[in-house]
Amino acid sequence: MRPQAPTRAARSLQKCLFRPAKSTQFRTQPTRAFTAHPPTHHNPSPSTVDATEVSHFNALASSWWDPHGSSRLLHLMNPLRHTFITRCLSTSPPASHTLRILDVGCGGGIFAESAARLPTTRAVTAIDPSPGVLSIAEAHKRRDPALMAPGRLTYVNTSIEDLPLPAKPADAFDVVTLFEVLEHVHAPGPFLTHLLPHVKPGGWLVMSTIARTWTSWVVTNLVAEDVLGIVPKGTHEWGKYVNAGELRAWFGKQDGWGEVRVQGVVYVPGFGWREVRGSEEWGNYFLAVRRLG
């Protein structure tokens, strides 16, 4: 994302003050963001990737694996990602004994690497449109011989629109993950539409994102970026945040999808990320939805 102008925070605050905190509409293009139909064949499509977001994260690539650097909060969140996925799989497990995972918007590979090391994982494919970040991911992968086994962890510099569709549903992935990505794309509906065919029947789409509320603007934009500086300036744009209710409503209109699960999480300075029931209404949260078998 391009750096915010000095008056941007004030404009966001003004819009937030005159808008209900739990609105189910987007600040811009409220009727278009979640309108799309699943693709029926593979053709490169107009990208939902924001080029300024790619540039922003490329600039942060060198510090991706520094646990005290710009990606510190992602490192701290990673254990909760696995906990949430495990809970989903424990009650509605895919048919596969070992999992094929697609990590969309993988960045430097924090989740992808950790998933590839699990004994329950057969293969991880991790994609990202940022070449600078993926070069860091590839270099870090080579430090672990176990990750160099053929097919164990494969990085691909592509967007979801240009990833070839599976030949048949059974060839899709058991788990598709989308962590801290949805709030960085142009239009969440068309973007999610391209993900759906990559989840096999019985599999899970698991994501994390941020609710678009007054509280989330204060925490992520004002405090995290401007006051404490624990998140690089320009990382978040409040107008791109997505409420859990919006996602529930959108998935409710998609044929063959159900069993939505949501878990709110809160970052507590000095203690890390903690699950907080109900916090999905105003801040960060995980959401998973299962493709019906």
Q: Is the pLDDT of residue 91 over 70?
A: yes
pLDDT on residue 240:
85
Angle, vertex CA 147, rays to CA 142 and CA 152, nearest 5: 135
pLDDT on residue 66:
85
pLDDT on residue 221:
61
Residues contributing to the annotated binding site for Mg(2+): 180, 183-184
pLDDT on residue 275:
93
- Residue 108: band (very low, low, confident or very high) from pLDDT cuts 50, 70, 90: very high
Q: What rounded mean pLDDT belongs to the chain?
A: 79
Q: Is the pLDDT of residue 34 over 80?
A: no
Residues contributing to the annotated binding site for S-adenosyl-L-methionine: 81, 105, 128, 179
How does pLDDT run across 217-240, given as a tens digit for each residue?
676 665 555 555 556 665 657 778
Distances (CA, A) of 203 to 21, 44, 55, 118, 255: 33, 25, 32, 18, 15
CATH superfamily of 59-291: Vaccinia Virus protein VP39 (3.40.50.150)
DSSP string, 209-256: EE--SHHHIIIIIIIIIIIS--S-TTS--GGG---HHHHHHHHHTSTT
Q: Is the pLDDT of residue 115 over 90?
A: yes
> Residue ranges of the alpha helices (H) in 109-157?
110-116, 131-141
Residues contributing to the annotated binding site: 81, 105, 128, 179-180, 183-184
| Beta partners for residue 258, in sequence order | 290
3 state SS of 8:
helix
89-98, 110-119, 220-229, 236-245: least confident range: 220-229
13-22, 60-69, 135-144, 211-220: least confident range: 13-22
Q: Is the pLDDT of residue 134 over 90?
A: yes
- Residue 117: band (very low, low, confident or very high) from pLDDT cuts 50, 70, 90: very high
186 or 77, higher pLDDT = 77
d(CA 197, CA 187): 18
d(CA 124, CA 203): 15
29 or 95, higher pLDDT = 95
Model pTM greater than 0.85? no
